[in-house]
Amino acid sequence: MPAETAPSLADVLRARGLRLTAQRQLVLEAVQRLGHATPEQVHQAVCRTAAGVNITTIYRTLELLEGLGLVTHTHLSHGAPTYHVPGERSHLHLVCHRCGAIEEAPLSLMHPLAEQLRTDRGFSLDIGHMALFGTCAACAAEEES
């Protein structure tokens, strides 16, 4: 088990004098399980276990967890922020601007670029989850006709 990947929620919270609540556990768990999900989707997932949880709490909790470094968000396709656990289930998203399809690709494709950015400008690419936009093979074929 990798040492840095498992800072327990309880510990992180306690370290800052924050409280461990069922909602926070559920939200983190949902984000981990879903891989990448919008606040809406997290809400639905959480509600499947604890029906009464308010959407407001989801937003507040996601924001908190992000501040704590336990989750991050990126923007896949259309205006919907999606949250995920850094380093977990890592892969690239190739989002087709034309048909909206999302395919996944191995993260290793990014390594050379990540390396160069770090060397050249000290910028550490978040390669946890990453969205790249373009035109998928199918749509590219159509456009040529």
Closest C-alpha among 108, 87, 91, 101 to residue 134: 101
Q: How far from 52 is each of 40, 75, 115, CA to CA, in Å?
A: 14, 28, 45
Of 26 and 71, the one with the shorter C-beta distance to a second copy is: 71
How many CB atoms are closer than 10 A to CB 127?
18
Q: What tokens appear for 42 in the block?
A: 């997290």
99 is annotated as contributing to ligand binding: yes
Which of DNA, a second copy, none lies near 52, with the C-beta cut-off 5 to 8 A by kind? DNA
CB of 92 to a second copy, least distance (A): 9
Which of DNA, a second copy, none lies near 14, with the C-beta cut-off 5 to 8 A by kind? DNA
Q: Which residues bind DNA (CB under 7 A)?
A: 10, 13-14, 17-24, 38-40, 52-57, 59-61, 63, 79-81
